[in-house]
Amino acid sequence: MSVYLWLEGSLLQQWSADASAAPSQVDRTHAMPDTSRFGPMLKQFAEHVEREMDRRREFRLAVEKLIEEHPGLPEWPEELVRIADRSEWPSWAIQSLPSLYVTLGRSPDDEEQALVWHRIYDCFPEVGTILIKNRLCEGQFLEIVIPKSIAPIALEIARVFEEHRNALPYTSERSFMGAVNNAMLQVETMLEGSYPDSSKEIREKRGKMLKKEQVITGTTTGEPD
């Protein structure tokens, strides 16, 4: 099936044009799609489902179908973040990307480079040693260089966030932020022994987030709001 945009009663099949024109699956796999049009189209789709309860799930499915229809771009996780930045997607759509931590390879000093969602970055220990090369999506994502000393724990923290985010198809803002709170709480406990100062900072940031977002805390496995 093609990916569709339902806008003002019309089905637009623009996204599948390249795929339908390809003579074979082999050719599709090696074809490099023109990604310049995907950002505005996905933004239109996000605006259309803005008021729907399951907008996050619908948007995530649309992105996944887009990747399926255009498999010739192996750097999809990175490209999607940069597409979101260029097209100024809303925050909730950015939070619905398949990955909120994207590795970019090694720096000249053999340190890990990554694109990371700001809430995950906020939980990294020794953030003063992390080089911020760029800020994307109005600060939602940071392009960073991570020292070898904390690269393993940074990756583990990102894994914790993704586990909580993907545990259930969180549909409302409060339930999504509840999942983020649960991830931060787990990381806070995880760092308590080796990085007590970072653990304390996470607790303070978590409290401010809960107050700002007016989140009702609960467990990740509970019913979404």
Confidence of residue 2 (pLDDT cuts 50, 70, 90): very low
Q: 105 and 209, same structural domain?
A: yes
Confidence of residue 33 (pLDDT cuts 50, 70, 90): low
Residue 119: alpha-carbon gap to chain centroid: 11
What pLDDT, in 10s, does the model give residues 155-198?
999 999 999 988 866 567 888 888 999 999 999 999 999 999 99
Q: 175 and 133, same structural domain?
A: yes
Number of domains in the chain: 2
pLDDT at residue number 221: 37
- Between 140 and 177, whose confidence is greater? 140
Q: 200 and 110, same structural domain?
A: yes
* Contacts (Cβ under 8 Å, ≥6 apart) of 22: 28, 31
Q: What is the mean pLDDT of the chain?
A: 82
First to last CA, the chain: 31
Q: Of 46-50, 56-60, 210-214, where does mean pLDDT reach its minimum?
A: 210-214
Q: Cα dihedral sign for 94, 75, 12, 60?
A: negative
Q: Are 160 and 166 in contact (CB under 8 A)?
A: no
Rounded Cα–Cα distance for residues 225 and 217 (Å): 11
* Contacts (Cβ under 8 Å, ≥6 apart) of 177: 209, 210, 213, 215
As a whole number of Å, the CA-based R_g of the chain is 19
Q: 164 and 73, same structural domain?
A: no
pLDDT at 30 over 50: no
pTM of the model: 0.81
Supply the range of the domain harboring residue 122: 101-213
Considering the chain, what percentage of its residues have pLDDT values greater than 70? 77
Confidence of residue 200 (pLDDT cuts 50, 70, 90): very high
For residue 96 the two structure tokens come to: 């619905």
Q: Are 13 and 4 in contact (CB under 8 A)?
A: yes
Considering the chain, what percentage of its residues have pLDDT values greater than 90? 56
Rounded Cα–Cα distance for residues 181 and 18 (Å): 41
pLDDT at 223 over 90: no
Q: 74 and 48, same structural domain?
A: yes
21-39 average pLDDT score: 58
Q: Are 200 and 187 in contact (CB under 8 A)?
A: no
Rounded Cα–Cα distance for residues 7 and 58 (Å): 14
Q: 82 and 108, same structural domain?
A: no
The answer to whether residue 61 is domain-embedded is: yes
2-10 average pLDDT score: 41
Q: Are 50 and 95 in contact (CB under 8 A)?
A: no
Rounded Cα–Cα distance for residues 14 and 19 (Å): 10
The CA–CA distances, whole Å, from 112 to 2, 18, 23, 60, 181 equal 36, 34, 39, 27, 26
Q: 158 and 138, same structural domain?
A: yes
60-69 average pLDDT score: 89
Rounded Cα–Cα distance for residues 206 and 71 (Å): 38
